[in-house]
Amino acid sequence: MPISEHSRHGTLITVLSFTVVAGMAIAALVLLLWTKYPASVADGAGLRTAVALCPPFMLVQVVGGTNDTTMGLIITAGTIVIANASLYAGMVSFLYWAITTFRPGNPTR
């Protein structure tokens, strides 16, 4: 019996929703850590860990020294959160496509 289109897209929407929220939460946590303890993610292992979890966090190094206004920090933080959510959703979309396309016993293949 073939899988209905509704259930197939329902799973994709659920997975994407979860990863977008997870990407935003991870970015928000990294930014909160940066605002509360800036020395912990300024350089070294802390910075490498933050960039591994949230690659858009590299913007902090670029914008941090040149723009210390409140509006600049809000725009930078918003950009990092949205970019990380999009990055996580894109990676999971690719994995979802690969799994559904190349899974053994897939009826569409």
Kindly state whether residue 7 falls inside one of the protein's structural domains.
Answer: no
H helices of the chain, in order, are: 5-36, 44-53, 58-63, 70-102
pLDDT digits (tens, 9 = 90+) for 13-61: 999 999 999 999 999 999 999 888 888 887 889 889 999 999 999 888 8
Residue 84 lies in a domain: yes
Which residue range(s) make up the domain with 91?
17-102
pTM score, whole prediction = 0.81
Is the Cα dihedral 11, 15, 21, 25 positive or negative?
positive
Least confident of 18-32, 55-69, 75-89: 55-69
Q: Residue 82 pLDDT > 90, yes or no?
A: yes
In a domain, 108, yes or no: no
So what's the pLDDT on residue 53?
Answer: 93
The yes-or-no verdict on residue 100 having pLDDT over 50 is yes
